[in-house]
């Protein structure tokens, strides 16, 4: 759906903000473009949406080439920039109608589509001027605006920036819903792990204009996550803890409801230790409710990825 090859941008002052970026986004993806401030996210999104000319490299969107077919590309994409103006005196409905006319949409279709969009973004019953909207409501209206011409892909530059946790969650829920119900592909930038972790199926991590890693979130978690952590829940946590402390290569901590067991062992050693734990618990008549591998969080993944680069800013 979106592909870049060797995409680079050097600004007029000689600063290279994006360097040799190869991205691949498939139809239906919710793709997270994650990196700290100054990583080159906005520069990249501007190039992908035809607002900024690349210094090098190619962009194709929906099989169209940005260098030759940017007008056609603009018909299939919607964009929510990092900061954008609103007309404070308009209502949400008037705002969407204004852009529908500007984009030459069929206004008969808009008579049902605009109320549908307003409902989708949780502004269906609101008929007050945008000047009285909260920032979260403005962002949701902005997302509705990106969809006014029925695009296949929407680009959102830090849509949750400056929102409180509730506002952030609303945006996440909304984007998941739009991705499913309208089958729209989503490209979102963020410097917040949480946004990407709960929302995206794929992620690319950038730093200093360069790609550090990209892929399915699940496979990155397996690749970089902590592999040695198990969760153990039993009928007698105190006794369990005592028993496990007898095994030298294991560290035990608690997380409130269960014991967390870190095994400092190679793969065959781990299996042996697991067997040992089960046997000891059985011998002591302790019931086992749960004994499972702890899936790594994206936080761990990012920490590993960026710690090798001399920082943990993400």
Ligand X SMILES: Nc1ncnc2c1ncn2[C@@H]1O[C@H](COP(=O)(O)OP(=O)(O)O)[C@@H](O)[C@H]1O
Binding footprint of Mg ion on the chain (CB under 5 A):
41-42
Our CB check for ligand X shows the closer of 21 and 174 to be 21
Residue with tokens 């007050």: 128
Q: How far is the CB of 158 from Mg ion (least distance, A)?
A: 6
The CA distance from 222 to 232, in Å, is 20
**Cβ neighbours of residue 62 under 8 Å, at least 6 residues apart?**
1, 73, 76, 152, 153
Determine the angle formed by the axes of helices 135-146 and 107-120, rounding to 10 degrees.
140
Q: Which two tokens stand for residue 242?
A: 């005592």
Provide the CA 145 distance to its chain's centre, in angstroms.
21
Order of all β-strands in the sheet with 250-254: 250-254, 259-263, 229-234, 288-293
Residue 11 interacts with, from ligand X, Mg ion, none (CB under 5-8 Å by kind): ligand X
Our CB check for ligand X shows the closer of 185 and 190 to be 190
Host H or E run for residue 20: strand 16-21
Q: What is the gyration radius of the CA atoms in the chain, in angstroms?
A: 24
State the Cα torsion 161-164-167-169 to the nearest 10°: 90
Residue 125 interacts with, from ligand X, Mg ion, none (CB under 5-8 Å by kind): none
Our CB check for ligand X shows the closer of 14 and 165 to be 14
The CA distance from 202 to 218, in Å, is 8
Q: How far is the CB of 45 from ligand X (least distance, A)?
A: 8
Residue with tokens 């600004």: 11
Our CB check for Mg ion shows the closer of 19 and 42 to be 42
Residue nearest to Mg ion as judged by C-beta position: 42
The CA distance from 81 to 45, in Å, is 9
Our CB check for Mg ion shows the closer of 83 and 285 to be 83
Q: How far is the CB of 31 from Mg ion (least distance, A)?
A: 16
Residue 35 interacts with, from Mg ion, ligand X, none (CB under 5-8 Å by kind): ligand X
Residue 116 interacts with, from ligand X, Mg ion, none (CB under 5-8 Å by kind): none
Q: How far is the CB of 83 from ligand X (least distance, A)?
A: 11
Binding stretches for ligand X (CB under 6 A) = 11, 13, 15, 17, 35, 37-43
Residue 40 interacts with, from Mg ion, ligand X, none (CB under 5-8 Å by kind): ligand X
Q: How far is the CB of 177 from ligand X (least distance, A)?
A: 26
**Cβ neighbours of residue 166 under 8 Å, at least 6 residues apart?**
136
Our CB check for ligand X shows the closer of 42 and 168 to be 42
Q: How far is the CB of 45 from Mg ion (least distance, A)?
A: 8
* Residues of the chain by 3-state class (helix, strand, coil), percent to 5: 40, 25, 35
Our CB check for Mg ion shows the closer of 161 and 294 to be 161
Q: How far is the CB of 20 from ligand X (least distance, A)?
A: 15
Helix (H, G, I), strand (E, B) or coil at 143: helix
Determine contact, residues 66/58, Cβ cutoff 8 Å. Answer: yes
Q: How far is the CB of 156 from Mg ion (least distance, A)?
A: 11
Residue 105 interacts with, from Mg ion, ligand X, none (CB under 5-8 Å by kind): none
Residue 50 interacts with, from Mg ion, ligand X, none (CB under 5-8 Å by kind): none
Our CB check for ligand X shows the closer of 40 and 159 to be 40
Determine contact, residues 123/136, Cβ cutoff 8 Å. Answer: no
């Amino acid at each position: 759906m979106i592909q870049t090859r060797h995409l680079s941008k050097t600004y007029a002052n000689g600063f290279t903000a994006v360097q040799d970026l190869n991205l691949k986004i498939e139809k239906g993806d919710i793709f997270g473009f994650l990196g700290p401030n100054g990583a080159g996210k906005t520069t990249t999104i501007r190039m992908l949406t035809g607002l900024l000319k690349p210094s090098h490299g190619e962009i194709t969107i929906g099989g169209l080439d940005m260098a030759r077919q940017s007008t056609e590309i603009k018909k299939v994409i919607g964009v929510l920039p990092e900061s954008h103006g609103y007309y404070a005196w308009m209502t949400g409905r008037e705002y969407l109608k204004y852009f529908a006319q500007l984009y030459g949409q069929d206004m008969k279709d808009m008579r049902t589509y605009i109320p549908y969009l307003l409902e989708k973004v949780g502004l269906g019953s609101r008929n007050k001027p945008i000047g009285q909207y909260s920032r979260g409501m403005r962002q949701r209206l902005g997302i509705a605006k990106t969809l006014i011409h029925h695009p296949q892909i929407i680009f959102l530059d830090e849509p949750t920036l400056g929102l409180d946790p509730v506002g952030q969650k609303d945006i996440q829920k909304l984007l998941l819903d739009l991705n499913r119900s309208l089958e729209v592909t989503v490209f979102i930038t963020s410097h917040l792990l949480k946004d990407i972790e709960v929302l995206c199926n794929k992620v690319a991590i950038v730093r200093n204009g360069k790609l550090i890693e990209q892929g399915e979130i699940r496979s990155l978690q397996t690749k970089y996550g902590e592999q040695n952590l198990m969760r153990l829940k039993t009928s007698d946590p105190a006794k369990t803890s005592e028993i496990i402390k007898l095994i030298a290569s294991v560290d035990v901590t608690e997380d409130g409801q269960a014991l967390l067991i870190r095994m400092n062992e190679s793969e065959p050693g781990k299996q042996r230790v697991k067997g040992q734990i089960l046997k000891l618990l059985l011998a002591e008549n302790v019931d086992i409710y749960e004994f499972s591998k702890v899936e790594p969080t994206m936080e761990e993944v990012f920490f590993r990825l960026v710690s090798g680069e001399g920082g943990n800013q993400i």
